[in-house]
Structure formats: structure tokens, C-alpha cells
Structure 1
Amino acid sequence: MATIHERLRNPDAGVRRIAVIDLPYTDEEDDIAPLLVEALSDADATVRLEAAKALEGFEEPEVLAALAPLLKDEDADVRAAVAYTLAELKDPASASALLPYLGDADPEVQAAALQAVKALRVDAAFDPALAALAHADAKVRRAAVSVLGYLKKPQAISALTEVAAHDTDAEVRRVAVGALSFANDAEVSVHPALSRALADPEWQVREEAATTFAKTGSALGVPNLVRAMDDEYWQVRVKAARSLGKLKARDGVMALVEALIHPVSNLRKEAVIALGEIGDPRAITPLERTLRDPDPDVRKLSKLALTTIQMNGGAA
């Protein structure tokens, strides 16, 4: 039977491909990284693809030095596999192999490099990501926003609020709204940005804004969240209810009570949970009615909410 080395050098690309797939499981070789790196330069794209996939979890400098250039591979599947493998990096020191690609002329390469460096949270990525917010390609802008959201630098708040309000791509606006979750309510520009986002034409952006208000801890958003309880999309109402509960917003009690009869059970559940978190005794009688709700989860959550309110001194 041919050895793994012989198979890796076989003239048949199919044989080489299977050899690369088998390599992580072989007993013939203790150090497989150099062999996988060598396979990254194979003439056949399917071999390069499998090598890129097999290198997930390897963060040696020589591995990253060989992987990163394949972000520009001629084969789209290889590029995607390399981008995925690089996105799984955990060691911030690995960023040095990616930094040269953060301003690449190819939008696909730039977006992949930004995505890969995101979770590494390295300060060196801040300026390239900030500059990429002005890129013509929405994929690059989305990736740049994600990097800035992970870095959580106050210097990015102004730029993120601008993107959240005015970017032409709804997904970029949504990601920017979510990225603002690291800001606190002392940041005066955040509340107006989230308020605008709660009126965005796209419901996914409104949904994200409803969630982000609670993450910032901003009580200033409560009136907007109460209005969002009338949103035409129940998904937005669900997030608004969740945030009203987390903010313990007594001003939201009546809007939450109205949601207890909504036809979507997920919204009724969130309204019940929120009313329990807020603990306002005005919710006791409406919650008692939900003990007869057709959804068993709503009934169970109503019992818990009533117990919580009554234990904390609430009385009808």
C-alpha cells in the first residue's frame, strides 16, 4: 500500500485530495502541518481546498503565512475555505498575517480579512476598519462594522451612529446598530441613533435597535420601545418587550399587558416574562387571565411571573 507521502505526490489529483483528507488521521506522520502547507500550493483547486480546511486550528506563523495569500486564490471555493479557517483563529498574535490584507484592493479579500481579524480584537485593526466604513462594497462595510463592534472603542461611536442612520445597505445599518451595544447611556449620540433605527424602513434594523437599547442600559429609550410594541412586525415587538423587561420599565407595563392577547405566542411569552421582571402590581390581574392561555409555556411563565411579583410585595 502506498504511503501517505507517496499519495500526496501522486499524479492523480483525486488521490492527492483524499491523501490530504486522510492526513490528520494518519499514524505515519507526527507533524502534519508542513505537509498541509505544501498542499496549499497544489496545482489542483480541490487539493488546496481540503488543505485549507484541514489547517483549521493551526496558528503557527508559517501556516498563517501560507494561508493568508490564498485569500486571493483564483478559485472561489478555496478563498471561502481559507476565509473560514482564518476566521477561527483565536490567538491575537495571528493578526500579523492578516493585517496586510485589511486594505486589499479586492473587496472579497478585504472583507474576508476583516472578518478573520474581528474576533482577535487587535488594536492595529481599528484604523483600517474605520477607513473601510467608506468602502463602496457593502460586504466590506459590514465586516468593518463588525471589527469596530468587537474592539469596543469609544472613538468609533460617532462613525457607527452615522452608518446606523445613513448607510444605503440595510444589513450594514443593522450590524452597526448592534455594534453600538457596547456604548452606555452617557454617550449622547447613541440614543438618537437608536431612536432613528427604531423607525428604520427595514424591520430587521428595528428589531436590532429594540435589542440594543437594553444592552446600552439606556432608560431614555423606553418611550421608543413602548411605541415599538405597536410595530407591524411581531418580531420587533418581541425584542421591544424583552428590552422593556430588562430595563424594568414601569412605563411599558400597559403596552406589555396589551401584548398578552396577541395571536403570536412568542410575543405573549416575552410580554409575560417582561411583566415579571418589571414587577409592577398592575400586571397581576392581566397575568392571572393568562393562566388560561392556550399555550402551556405562556401559562407556566405566567405562574412564575405572578410568584415573582407577589414575593416582591406586589398586590392587586
Structure 2
Amino acid sequence: MRHSFRLLGLLVAAVLVSACSQGDPDQPSTWIKQLSAKDSQKQIRALEELARIADPASAEAVEALLKTAEGEVKLQAVRTLRKLGQKRSVPALLEAVVHGAPAGTDPATKLTNETNKEIAETLGELGDPAGVDALMRLAREAKDAYVRVAAVVSLGQIGDPRAVDVLMQVATDEAEETYVNKKAVQALGDLGDPKAVPAIKKMLFHERRGVSFYPEASFAAYQIGPQVAEPLLTVLAGEDQALNEWADKNNVKREALYIKAAEILGDLGERRAIPMLIKNLSYHPPGLDPDIVDAFALLVRRNAAIALGKLRAKEAIPALGKAATTEEEGNVRAVYADALVSIGDRSALPHLVKCAQEGDPMDKTIHARKGCYVALSKLGDEKTLALWEKWEKEEPQLSASACMKKMAWSNEAGKKAAEEHCNQLAEEVVKTIKENKARLVAYGECRENVDCWIGKLKDSNKLVRERAAIELGRLGDPKAIGPLMETLRDNDLEPRFAAITSTDWLVSNSKDALEAAKKGLPALDAQIAEEQGKVHFARVNEDLKRLAVKIRRLDRNGG
């Protein structure tokens, strides 16, 4: 037994001596020594440990190894420099790029391209303009598509205007992979240079092999800003002859051009578009029978209304009000009604009351009327609340009676069927009135009191929180910015959409609000990154991204 203990003691001592001879594993010097090892696996292990420790002082030793490293060792050296994140490493990284590398699936080729990709991504993260020339060359010439993607993304990150021409070329290259085109469009948006407007405009409308570039191009257009508006005004007016001819030749509906142009001009706040947008509220394709419902025409009218709402175009209220009361398609009518809410002027209330009361008597779901009831509860005042309570007392008899007056029957069975139908319709009205009353009750409690509405942002009812956000935008008090920006994180979409709109209104009209919003940008950026890929927030967070861009643009331009 004594011999066993003696042997165990010798083994432990040997391990300790060995560990001490290798050095402290948490000290960079321990692993820098291993970089000169003949065994590539030891070198890779040393590089991995240096990346773990992340001491910037070890960058010099890794750069020295990168000059002679090959294969897996070279790739890991680049990854370690990426983790260390030192701009001093840029020359060594540029020297390590292999230009002219072929595309292929053999191990050596794949490794070379993976290393080039890693270098390109690292250069973008380091943000040094010294990397731009090499990245432009990779974007143009690299045979591997993933290397080209990494290069164009990094050019966008660095933001050097020298890259605009190359990125325009890649974005519009019809022989390029579509996902590379998309990344180049995004990079042009990140640069924000107005020189890119022709390429962005082309990618807004062009499609290839069933792939649309509109999502990337529309956001890039917003990033570039007001300079995009001029050519899109021409498109909206139907006066871009070259684009019209291209659309006709490629079987693209001209209505698609108007739909996209309206959306972007609304986002940009381009008020010169207002007369054309009002005109498009009654758009019908030339030469088409007026009695035929055209889906594209509905979308032209719909997007015109959305844009007018974003522009808060009070001059559009009569046209929107008329459209809301005459449109039979429920989804489009709801958009008209919501546009009136976005404009925020209570002169729209009579239109919404009429819209809520009129609809197809054969539609027992009251689909066409619901959006008007909802909009009325978002914009209504104390008189609307009184009307709401009157309706509560009179329903369901009021709607059932009105419905029966529009019915026809020839016998008792027909009358009974009509009564059953109208009763179902009336019950749907009762349900809609009940579901949306909370917004109006909240208005009765707060009216023009900003502090009251700020408190309502914490209400347990999402519809009350939504109304609170809307009213804070209408009232225009800069002190609401902080609470509104907190509401941008609301898990329910209704208050979140309303908070985005109201924050936009406030920062656009108040320097104090803009200053307060700037303080919330880091949290806003973190939220966008955190929620990326979450389906529930996908659409609302496109608006959130635009809000962040707008705050920064207003700050650059002095409000």
C-alpha cells in the first residue's frame, strides 16, 4: 500500500512539474511560444487559446505567423485576429488575401475561400478604409459567391464612398447570384450615398427568376433619404417613360410601379406627392370596365391611403372620407379609415361615423364596417363616446332593423331567413362596439392630459395602450418620448405600431423630442438586433428600423 501511495505522489508531482514548465494557460506568453511549434495542431490550439484570452498585445505575434501560415493554421490565425479586433492587423490581413482563387469543392480551394471570406468579414468589422481597395476587388472578382457577399457587406460597414460604383455594379449585375445582388443593395443603403439612387431605383422595380429586390431596395431608399424622392415622383405620376416601356415589355403591371412609389414617398414624408396620392384614391386602370374590380387598382388606392396617413395630409380627409364610405372591400376600407386616424384631425370623425353605419347588408360579418368602428374608437372624442353609449343602448335592434329594410322576401320562410341573417349581423355590431369601447373610455378619462396618457401606456388593455400612444403623438409634448420609446418594446403589435408612429411625429417636429430620442438609440438598436428573425415582430420592426434611421438622419441634419 505504501508503494502505491508513493507511486501516486510521484505521478502528481510529474504532472505539476509538466504544467509549470508549460506556463500559465491564462497568460498569452504561454501560447505565443507555441506559435513556432512544428506541429500545426499545436499552432491551432495556441491560436484558439489566444482568441479565448483576447489580449490585444498578442496581435503582433499572430500577425507574424499569418505571413507564413497555410491551410487551417492560416484560417485560425485570421479568426484569432478577428477576435482581437485590432486595426493594426489590417496590413497583415490584406497581405493574406488570395486574389484569383478559384471556386470549387476540393478541401484546399474551400479552405482558401473560407479564409478570404473570414478576412473580408474582419476588415468590415475593423472599419478601416485601408481595406476598401481589397474588398472592392473581392466584390468584383472573387469566384466564390460567399466571399463576394462578405466583401460587399464589409464595404457597407466601412461606409467609404469609393465603394459606391462597385456596389452599384454588383447590385444590378443580372449575371450575379440574386442573394449577392441583395447584399449589394443593402450595402448601398448602409453607405447612404445619393449617387446610388439610379441603381436603387432599378432594383425597386426589377425582378429576376421570380426574386424581388424590393424589400432591400425600399429600405436602402429610405436610408439614402429625400434625394430618392425626385425620380419616384416621376414614377408615381406615370411619366417615367423608360420604366413604363420596361414594365410593358416585361409584363409588369404599371400599377405595381405606382404601388411601390407611393409606399416609399410616404415613408420619406415627401409632401409633393400628396396631390397625386389623392388622385390615386379613385384609381381605376385606363380602359377597364368601371364595374370590374381590379386587384391591382385596389392596391394602388390602398397604398395611396397609407402614404397620405403617414404624411398627415389634412387636405386628403374629404377624399379619404368619401373612399371609406363607398369602398365595398373591407380590408381596403379599413386602410382608408386608419389613414384618417394617422392624419389625426377630428374633422374626419363624421366620415368615420358614416362609414361605420354603412355596409353591404348581405355581409353578416360586417367586414366592411368593422375597420371604421375601430378607427372611430382610436380617434373619437367625448362626443363619440356619448354616441357609442347610445349605440350600446339601441343595439342590436338598430342594426337589425336597418338591415331588414334592405331585405326582400316573398314568403314567411324568406322573412324568417332574413330576420336570422339580420340578427346575426346586429350581434356582430354589438360585439364590435363592446370590444373597442375601452379606447373611448380612456379618452373620457384623459382627454388632453399628457401625464394621464403616459400612465395609460402601462394599462393592462392593449387597446388602451394603443390609444395612449396615438394621443401622445397628437398632443406633441416632448416629455412623452421616453415613455413612448419604452412602448416600442410592447409585446402587443397595436401599441407598438402606434408608438412608432407617434415617436416619428414627435422627433420630426420637436428638437427637444429628438434630443430625448437620441438617448434611446442604443436600446433601440439592441432591440432590433435581439428581435431579428422573430416572426411575430417581423413587419412592425421594419418600421422600427426606419425610425432608427430617421432619428439619426434628423440628428445629422440638425433636426
TM-score normalized by structure 2? 0.39
Change (3 A) 1:215 1:302: farther
| Aligned-pair CA distance for 1:121 | 2.4
Displacement of 1:51 in angstroms is 3.3
- Structure 2: give runs of 5+ residues left out of the alignment: 1-11, 102-111, 237-254, 274-302, 310-329, 353-371, 379-434, 437-460, 478-504, 506-559
The equivalent residue for 1:64 is 62
Q: Are 1:142 and 2:149 matched, yes or no?
A: yes
Determine if the alignment matches structure 1 residue 51 to structure 2 residue 46. Answer: yes
**Structure 1 residues 137, 113: CA separation in 2 closer, same or farther (over 3 Å shift)?**
same
AA in 1 matched with 2:66: A
Specify whether residues 280 and 152 from structure 1 end up closer, same or farther in structure 2 by C-alpha distance, changes over 3 A only: farther
Q: CA deviation at 1:206?
A: 2.6
Asked if 1:98 corresponds to 2:149, the answer is no
Are the structure 2 counterparts of residues 95 and 44 from structure 1 closer, same or farther at C-alpha, using a change threshold of 3 Å? closer
- Match in the other structure for 1:309: 474
Question: 1:83 and 1:297 mapped to 2: Cα distance?
Answer: 50
Alignment of 1:1-316 (within 5 A): 1=12, 6-7=18-19, 23-24=25-26, 32-40=27-35, 41=37, 43=39, 45=41, 48-56=43-51, 57-60=54-57, 61-65=59-63, 68=66, 72-74=70-72, 79=75, 81-104=76-99, 105=101, 106-132=112-138, 133-166=140-173, 168-184=176-192, 186-187=194-195, 190-198=196-204, 199-201=206-208, 205-218=213-226, 220-221=228-229, 247-249=268-270, 251=273, 254-255=305-306, 281=345, 288=375, 291=378, 300-301=465-466, 303-309=468-474, 311=476
Q: Is the 8 A contact 1:4 1:23 kept in 2?
A: no
Asked if the contact 1:64/1:97 (under 8 Å) is kept, the reply is no
Determine the C-alpha separation between the residues in 2 that align with 1:121 and 1:180: 16
* More off after superposition, 138-147 vs 222-231: 222-231
Shift of 1:66: 5.0
Per the alignment, in what secondary structure is the counterpart of residue 39 of structure 2? coil
- Deviation, 1:151, is 2.9
The C-alpha deviation readout for 1:235-276, integer Å capped at 9, x for no partner, is xxxxx97x6675235556613689xx87xxxxx9xxx89x85
In 2, Cα distance between equivalents of 1:256 and 1:228:
15
TM-superposed deviation, 1:118: 1.6
Measured in 2, the distance between the counterparts of 1:94 and 1:4 equals 36
Decide whether aligned partners of structure 1 residues 283 and 154 sit closer, same or farther in structure 2, where only a CA change above 3 A counts: farther
Q: Secondary structure at the match of 1:107?
A: helix
CA displacement at 1:302 relative to structure 2:
5.3
CA contact (8 A) 1:229 1:256 kept: no
Quick check: 1:164–1:172 contact (8 Å CA) kept in 2? yes
| Distance across 1 between alignment mates of 2:348 and 2:158 | 40
Q: Bigger relative contact order, structure 1 or 2, given CA contacts below 8 A and separation 6+?
A: 1
Aligned pair in 2 of structure 1 residues 97, 310: CA closer, same or farther (>3 Å)? same
Query: 3-state DSSP class of the match of 2:143?
Result: coil
Q: Does the C-alpha gap of structure 1 residues 117 and 256 become closer, same or farther in structure 2, counting only changes over 3 Å?
A: same
Cα pair 1:178 1:212 within 8 Å, conserved: yes
Q: Which amino acid aligns with 2:115?
A: V
| 1:39 positional shift | 3.8
Against the structure 1 CA distance between its residues 86 and 155, is the aligned structure 2 distance closer, same or farther, given a 3 Å change threshold?
same
One-letter amino acid matched to 2:50: L
Counterpart CA distance in 1 for 2:344 and 2:69 is: 55
Structure 1 pair 299–144 and aligned structure 2 pair: CA distance change class (3 A)? farther
Q: CA deviation at 1:49?
A: 4.7
Give 1:125 shift: 1.5
Aligned to 2:141, the other structure's residue is in SS state: coil
How far apart are residue 87 of structure 1 and its match?
A: 2.6
Q: 1:146 to 1:108 in 2, by over 3 A?
A: same
| Bigger helix share | 2
Distance 1:185 1:9, change over 3 A: closer
Q: 1:297 and 1:160, CA in 2 relative to 1: closer, same or farther beyond 3 A?
A: farther
Say whether the 8 Å CA contact 1:98–1:113 is kept in structure 2: yes
Amino acid at match of 1:64: V
Deviation at 1:173, TM superposition (A): 1.3
Shift of 1:180: 1.0
Q: C-alpha displacement at 1:171, in angstroms?
A: 2.3
- What is the alpha-carbon distance in structure 2 between the residues aligned to residue 122 and residue 4 of structure 1? 45
Q: Which amino acid aligns with 1:309?
A: R
Give the Cα separation in 2 of the matches to 1:280 and 1:185. 34
Name the aligned partner's letter for residue 474 of structure 2. Answer: I
Q: Which runs of 5+ in 1 are unaligned?
A: 11-18, 25-31, 232-239, 263-267
The CA distance in 2 between the partners of 1:8 and 1:197, in whole Å, is: 62
Q: TM-score, normalised by structure 1?
A: 0.64
Deviation at 1:111, TM superposition (A): 1.9
Aligned length in residues: 269
- Structure 2 residue matching 1:23: 3-state secondary structure: coil
Over alpha carbons, which structure has the higher Rg?
A: 2
Deviation at 1:216, TM superposition (A): 0.8
SS of the residue 1:136 aligns to: coil
